[in-house]
Amino acid sequence: MSVLSGDERTATLAVYRDTHPGAFYADPTTIEDHGFRIYRLEVSSVRYVGGFGRMSWVDAAGYTSAEPDPLRPHAARIARHMNDDHADSLVLFARVFAERTDTVEARMVGCDRYGFAMLTRDAGGEEKDLRLPFRSDVTTPDAARAAMVELVREART
């Protein structure tokens, strides 16, 4: 981590003020008088925390090359469709692919290019979370549909 100075500081402060127009305290001529500094962070790794028991480290190269998930704008609609129209398939997925043979109910709670997450409930009422991968990257809603159809076919055989 290092304090920015000179032209780099001026350019970064301009971006900050454009992003936060109400930041009256970020006047370029007095900001340092108030104890504010502008720093460059040199990221070597990032800690990912995705919920209880879901965490990992991502190195700087992996973080830099990461891209937004192409299914993000469609994930809620995909989950809603699966829950409303294909709940039986979700139960089948839990029973076959996760070997949770006592599953009586399953609800999709998330979907991304790599797979999907479900909450399952067994006959005793116990809820468990479950994540299942797609067989390949899925980047469009149509591809998600095709992947789900393929999983149904596989689970039924």
Task: Spell out the domain ranges in the chain.
Answer: 2-65, 72-156
Separation of alpha carbons 39 and 103, rounded Å: 51
Helix (H, G, I), strand (E, B) or coil at 127: strand
CB 115 within 8 A of CB 133: yes
pLDDT of residue 32: 66
Mean pLDDT of the chain: 89
* Diameter of the chain measured on Cα atoms: 71
Q: What number of H helices and E strands is found in the chain?
A: 5, 7
Homologous superfamily (CATH) for 72-156: PNP-oxidase-like (3.20.180.10)
Q: How many angstroms separate the CA atoms of 129 and 33, rounded?
A: 52
123-146 pLDDT, tens digit each: 999 999 999 999 988 999 999 999
> What is the average pLDDT across 27-39?
72
Q: What is the DSSP letter of 4?
A: -
Half-sphere CA count of 143, side-chain side, radius 13 A: 15
CA distance linking residue 40 with residue 18, whole number of Å: 18
